[in-house]
Chain A
């Protein structure tokens, strides 16, 4: 068989085909014209033309979050690449497997300040898992293979491949490597059995145990193992913002989300437990608050994580277990089962009592006189109307926290948000990625009037690709979370947080060819949502502009730098 000689651009496309890529999110430009020409002549994947490169990367990121597959984005050199940076950094902070291909000026022009040239590899270096500049056509295939491998294995993350234009025009033989080995990269997947036994010993002897799981459980497809583990040991459990859906929220052992806006019971149990098991979570500042305060109450901590660098980064860990969370949990389960025959757990009944008392605080209660629209109520109604089955994407701010608090997720990969970087503007492109991956599922983008305007141009993409996303805009005419901090910590000085000169969102949606609704009365919430999700509007994007109570705040709240048990509850807020 004679080897097939094709262009570098065609090689890149063949690589994506070999990786079973279904969607490429991108935006053309000079440096990627050869690649686009090759895309034009293929049918194996669909190219989704966005309206801004940031949205391409966000959509690819969401596609990955929703499906577990590696998301792919394609951008041109210079501004195409710099526009992609926010999306790449967002994915990096949340460990999302993604491959971004960027065009580069021709190799001979690199370093000459050529038109649309920038040092893409240099600019993206701190916010990728790894990146490459391909300088030889014969390296395109092996580099893309490495990129997919690196993105998806170990602690996942975005990998960027920068390809100069001249390389894509040259021709060479296409040969895709079967597999890839890197001497410097060998992620540990199997947990150390000695550590697993140590962990088990602590767990079975715990009187006040607590489990806290994060995004690693979702990314590592470990939800089933985690659920079995909790059922077996009957321990209380909380999820981080990124971990929601990793354990079914409707399960009786679930204490809700923890952290800055976590529930009273979850935060108190984290603080007061004697043995803490952390699974695929990283003790970040929004989750455990002040680490010194967190450790003031002595506790033994077990930490399961794929990334050794996550161990003892902010909090000293007693029993680290480095490995794939799913495999480690399965090992823990079988070790526990083997032990179970001659051991009984000595859970303190006082512990359950304490937890029940904390629950009685009813920290998620909010005042609702039935006139002004309460944002929490909108989310609760959204949960009802979608039977808790929708993909919920969110932007960043108060609405994000309310979505996390009032839309209980029973399944992983349904809650799509920017946890680590906290990127306003992700909501709509995230919804696009989800809707393309699951065309028959309900996808709602919970957003605010500030966030939605950061990627509003994607309404056009939604029109072009017929994406019937439902946008739930909690419009309080403020950058709500900024306003909340200004109210609590800056003496009500609302510096630049009021959103003046808002567009008429109904007309805006209509001008893009979508359906717009403005909802001003609390009694209309349910009707509007039902209509938006009705068969009549099944094929349409609906922009629901809910005019909400401007003064509503997110509670509970752990002030920045405070300890987890130092929450402000709605009831205390008047004393501030």
Chain B
């Protein structure tokens, strides 16, 4: 099953490779991994999308907690949460297709953030599944480049990951 794991870790050189190294060394899946500093400059927040049986996920959480630089770990799937991912898509859109692409983009809630004579760049935000569906709806013959950020997640309501 797919899980989104959020963690806070010391904002130190090498902390990211401790986490990614753990996943490769123990053969755990990583679907995506994103990391950025938090409001507390001494901490980074990482979001890892992974999949595995309940036993594997339990081990992943324990092994993450065991890393000295990791301060706190939360499996967002243990409760209600919100998931968002951003994708930037560049599509060939000459005069003939331009309207069609714009319509499609609008109907999914995408936003055109750059346009040139033959190319449109669209920004789209949603859950990873919504992104998958949106990308499927585009004619792959016209897609020239896709950049996905990997998912970020946050607990709903008063579920807060903080130290």
A residues lining the B interface (CB < 8 Å): 121-122, 125-126, 129-130, 133, 150, 182-185, 307-309, 311-313, 316
Contacts of B66 in A (CB 8 A): 307-309
Write out, one digit per residue, whether chain B residues 23-61 have a CB within 8 A of any chain A CB (1) or not (0): 001000000000000000000000000000001001100
Bound CA span A122–B16, Å? 12
Q: How far is the CA of A182 from the CA of B21 in the complex (A)?
A: 22
Instruction: List the A residue with the shortest CB-CB distance to B60.
Output: A309
Q: A126-B25, A308-B62 are in contact. Are A184 and B17 (CB under 8 A)?
A: no
* B55 and A312 contacting across the interface, CB-CB below 8 Å: yes
Q: How far is the CB of A449 from chain B (nearest CB, A)?
A: 34
Please state if B25 and A184 are interface contacts (CB–CB under 8 Å): no
Q: Are B68 and A130 in contact (CB under 8 A)?
A: yes
* B contact residues around A307 at 8 Å (CB): 66
Is the CB–CB distance between A184 and B63 below 8 Å? Answer: no
Tell me the minimal C-beta distance from B121 to chain A in angstroms. 35
Q: Which residue of A lies closest to B65 (CB)?
A: A308
Residues of A within 8 A of B14 (CB): 121-122, 125, 133
Pick from A183, A308, A313: contact of B71, CB under 8 Å: A183
**B-side contacts of A121, CB under 8 Å:** 14
B18-A125 in contact (CB<8A): yes
CB distance from B24 to the nearest CB of A (A): 9
Q: DSSP class of A's interface residues: helix, strand, loop or mixed?
A: mixed
Q: Given A309-B62, A312-B58: A184 and B68 within 8 A (CB)?
A: yes
Which residue of chain A is the closest to B68 with respect to CB atoms?
A: A130
Q: Is B91 an interface residue (CB 8 A)?
A: no
B63 partner residues in chain A, CB cutoff 8 A:
309
Chain B residue nearest to A127 (CB atoms) is B25
Q: Which residues of B contact A182 (CB under 8 A)?
A: 68
CA distance A355 to B71 in the complex (A): 47
Chain B residues packing against A (C-beta within 8 Å): 9-10, 13-14, 17-18, 21, 25, 55, 58-59, 62-63, 65-66, 68-72, 163
Give bound CA distance, A125 to B22, whole Å: 10
A-B contact pairs, 18 of them (CB 8 A): A121-B14, A122-B14, A125-B14, A125-B17, A125-B18, A125-B21, A126-B25, A133-B13, A150-B68, A183-B71, A184-B9, A184-B10, A184-B69, A307-B66, A308-B62, A309-B62, A309-B63, A312-B55
Q: A183-B71, A308-B65 are in contact. Are A122 and B17 (CB under 8 A)?
A: yes
Bound complex: CA A133 to CA B17 (Å): 14
Of all chain B residues, the one with the shortest Cβ separation from A307 is B66
A307 to B63 Cα, complex, angstroms: 10
A307–B71 Cα distance when bound, in Å, is 16
Q: Beyond A184-B71, A307-B66: 20 further Cβ-contacts under 8 Å?
A: A121-B14, A125-B14, A125-B18, A125-B21, A126-B25, A129-B68, A130-B68, A133-B14, A182-B68, A183-B71, A184-B9, A184-B69, A184-B70, A185-B68, A309-B59, A309-B62, A309-B65, A312-B55, A312-B58, A313-B59
| Shortest Cβ distance from residue B41 to the other chain A in the assembled complex, whole angstroms | 15
Q: How far is the CB of A438 from chain B (nearest CB, A)?
A: 32
Task: Report chain A residues within 8 Å CB of B69.
Answer: 184
Across the interface, which residues of A come within 8 angstroms of B18, CB to CB?
Answer: 125
Question: Which A residues lie within 8 Å of B163 (CB)?
Answer: 183
Taking the closest CB of chain A, its distance from the CB of B58, in whole angstroms, is 7
Chain B residues near A183: list those with CB within 8 A.
Answer: 71, 163
Residue of B21, B68, B70 contacting most chain A CB atoms (<10 Å): B68
A122 to B55, CA, bound (A): 29
How many Å from the CB of B111 to the closest CB on chain A? 39
- Would you call B70 and A126 a contact (CB within 8 A)? no
Distance in angstroms between the alpha carbons of A129 and B63 in the assembled complex: 12
Give the docked Cα–Cα distance between A307 and B67 (Å): 12
* Contacting residues, chain A, for B65 (C-beta < 8 A): 308-309
Expressed in whole angstroms, the Cα–Cα distance for A572 and B42 within the complex equals 63
Contact A126 B62 (CB under 8 A): no
Residue among A133, A183, A312 with the highest chain B CB neighbour number at 10 A: A183
* Interchain CB contact under 8 A, A126 and B55: no
Chain B nearest CB, measured from A318 CB (Å): 14
**Complex: A152 Cα to B68 Cα, angstroms:** 14
Nearest chain-B residue to A135 (Cβ)? B13
Interchain CA distance A51-B10 in the complex, whole Å:
38
- B55 surroundings in chain A (CB, below 8 A): 312, 316
Q: Which residues of B contact A125 (CB under 8 A)?
A: 14, 17-18, 21
Q: How far is the CA of A97 from the CA of B38 in the complex (A)?
A: 34
Closest to A130 in B: B68
The contact of A126 among B10, B21, B71, by CB within 8 Å, is B21
Shortest CB–CB separation between residue A12 and chain B, in angstroms? 21
Which residues from B are CB-within-8-Å of A309? 59, 62-63, 65-66
CB of B63 to closest CB in A, whole Å = 5
Give 7 closest A-B pairs by Cβ, nearest first: A309-B62, A184-B71, A130-B68, A309-B66, A126-B25, A308-B62, A309-B63
- With most chain A CB atoms within 10 A of its CB, the pick from B13, B17, B66, B71 is B66
Q: Which residue of chain A lies nearest to B63 when distances are taken between CB atoms in the complex?
A: A309
Q: Which residues of A contact B71 (CB under 8 A)?
A: 183-184
Q: How far in angstroms is the closest Cβ of chain A from B106?
A: 46
A121, A122, A150, A184 — most chain B CB neighbours (10 Å): A184
